[in-house]
Structure 1
Amino acid sequence: MDYSRYSIQELQESLSSIDKHKYPERYQELLKEFSSRKEEVEQYRKHEKEKITVTVNNRLKILAWVQIITCLGFIFAGFTSLLQQFTLFNFALFLGTSTLNGLAGYFLLRRKQLGFQLSYFNQVAQLFWFNFGSIYYAYSGLIYLVIVIQNGIGIKASLFSPSFQFLLGNNLDFGVGIDLVPLFFIWLLSSCHTEKDI
């Protein structure tokens, strides 16, 4: 078999799939071809690593900017809400959520470990919505797509409306929801984090 016509990718695929006990001569020919094209192999590996790095960087930039824009959204929403009804509780909520999103986005852009940690925390906090009769909790970023179980199964969705709601009271009904957007961002963070490109 003439392996000199194979691309580096084809050589790697052949090497990983060949049974070296069943075809020892072909296996040795593959190794020999790899050795003779060492420089080309190094260039190929370097190029593949750069492609992965670019992909990771792009994914992290998307989440970082979404969190920064969400920070600005919370500042705007908080300002307009506080003009209508100012309470220290509402002020603390808007200040906390905007700060969390802003810092998570900033440090993630800078590829700091703190950026990953704050982003994980931020996304996990948005993952579940619940309503247990006397406690209601819902936190969403810039975008949400929630599957809700409350008197049946439904879907809630919104763009550009960051929100944090925590209510205590009576007869608030019962229900739970899971937001698919932070679930996607948690997967994105996990996939980038395992590729060790912090």
Structure 2
Amino acid sequence: MTTDPFSLFDAWFAEAQAGEPNDANAMALATADATGQPAVRMVLLKGHGPDGFVFYTNRGSRKADDLAANAQAALLFHWKSLRRQVRIEGPVSRVSDAESDAYFASRSRDSQLGAWASEQSRPLAARSIFEARFEAMQFRFEGGDVPRPPHWGGYRVTPRRIEFWQDRAHRLHERRLFTRDGGEGDWSEGLLYP
């Protein structure tokens, strides 16, 4: 049995990628604004390792506003077909411009153009307005590469707590909790009652 939460996550994530029918990298991202008002939404994991778990978004979005005011977040992976969950909590920081640029360059052209066209989380009077903005971006970047917009980039959740939850019969679930005090050093491991 491993005592390294990242190795365990890698093993579970590989099983999810092989067995989940859709978006094994989908995770719920919970944030709270400066007043403590919580919000949760689904995002996609785009990188992970001992330094943390990375997702990308418009930095003018509600989630980005929340993180600017309160740089803490929680993530939840729910792999229903495997009857497993992974919960992650910790501080959030922006990834480097170079890392954001590299990921942005890997996206489809339409996704790149959509990042320029969208004012994510802001009111939209009609879908046709967004579609017109998307067409304008197609014209603007016609024939060339689409650079990363300055308002778009990545965030990294650096875990301080990682819980692995495994479904068991009769709700006698298994819960393994890894914690790291102070943010650096070794992980402590323990079990939680179901």
User: TM-score scaled to structure 1, two decimals?
Assistant: 0.22
User: TM-score scaled to structure 2, two decimals?
Assistant: 0.22
Relative to its length, the structure with more strand (as a share) is: 2
Relative to its length, the structure with more helix (as a share) is: 1
Which structure has the bigger radius of gyration? 1
